[in-house]
Amino acid sequence: MRIVVAYKWACDPEEATVHADGTVDWSRAKPGLSTYDPVAIELARQFADGTGAELIGVTVGGKGVATPIAAKTALGRGLDRVVIVEDESLAYAGRSELAAVLAEVIWHIGDVDVVVTGDSSVDVAAKMVPTVLAGALSWPAVAEVTSLSGQAGALRVERAIPGGVQVLEVSGPAVLAASADAAVPRVPGMKDLLAAARKPVELIELAALKLPVQGAVMTVTGRSRPERKAREGQLIDTSDPDKAAAELVTALRQAGAL
Partner 1 sequence: MDFELTDEQQLIRDAVREFAEAEVVPIAAEIDRDHRFPYELLPKLAEMNLMGMPYPEKLGGAATDYVSYVIAVEEISRACASTGIILSAHTSLATWPIYKFGTETQRERYLPDMASGRRLGAFALTEPAAGTDAAAGTATATLHADGYALNGSKMFITNAPYAEVYIVFAKTDPERGARGMSAFIVEKDSPGFSVGEAEHKLGIRGSSTPPVYFADCRIPREALLGEEGEGFKIAMQTLDGGRIGVSAQALGIAQAALDAAIAYAKERVQFGKPIASLQAIQWMIADMATEVDAARLLVYRAASCVDNGRPYSTEGAMAKLFASETATKVAGKAIQIHGGYGYIESYPVERNYRDAKITELYEGTSEVQRMVISRSALR
Stated length of the chain = 258
Nearer to partner 1, 50 or 68 (CB): 68
Return residues touching partner 1 (CB under 8 A).
68-69, 72-73, 76, 187-191, 193-194, 196-197
To partner 1, the closest distance from the beta carbon of 30 in angstroms equals 10
Nearer to partner 1, 68 or 172 (CB): 68
Of 18, 88, 39, 79, nearest in space to 60 by CA: 88
Nearer to partner 1, 190 or 213 (CB): 190
Q: Which residues of the chain form beta strands (DSSP E)?
A: 2-6, 9-11, 17-18, 24-25, 31-33, 54-61, 81-86, 114-117, 141-151, 154-161, 164-170, 174-178, 201-204
Report helix, strand or coil for 141. strand
Q: 115 burial class (0-12, 13-18, 19+ CB within 10 angstroms)?
A: buried
Q: Are 45 and 188 in contact (CB under 8 A)?
A: no
Please give the Cα distance from 172 to 154 (Å, whole number): 7
Please give the Cα distance from 58 to 102 (Å, whole number): 8
Report helix, strand or coil for 151. strand
Nearer to partner 1, 190 or 207 (CB): 190
Nearer to partner 1, 77 or 159 (CB): 77
The DSSP bridge pattern shows strands 31-33 and 9-11 to be antiparallel
Nearer to partner 1, 75 or 155 (CB): 75
To partner 1, the closest distance from the beta carbon of 192 in angstroms equals 8
To partner 1, the closest distance from the beta carbon of 157 in angstroms equals 28
Nearer to partner 1, 44 or 196 (CB): 196
67: left (phi over 0), alpha (psi -120 to 50) or beta: beta
To partner 1, the closest distance from the beta carbon of 73 in angstroms equals 6
Alpha helices in 80-158 (DSSP H): 95-109, 129-137
To partner 1, the closest distance from the beta carbon of 253 in angstroms equals 35
To partner 1, the closest distance from the beta carbon of 178 in angstroms equals 19
To partner 1, the closest distance from the beta carbon of 14 in angstroms equals 15
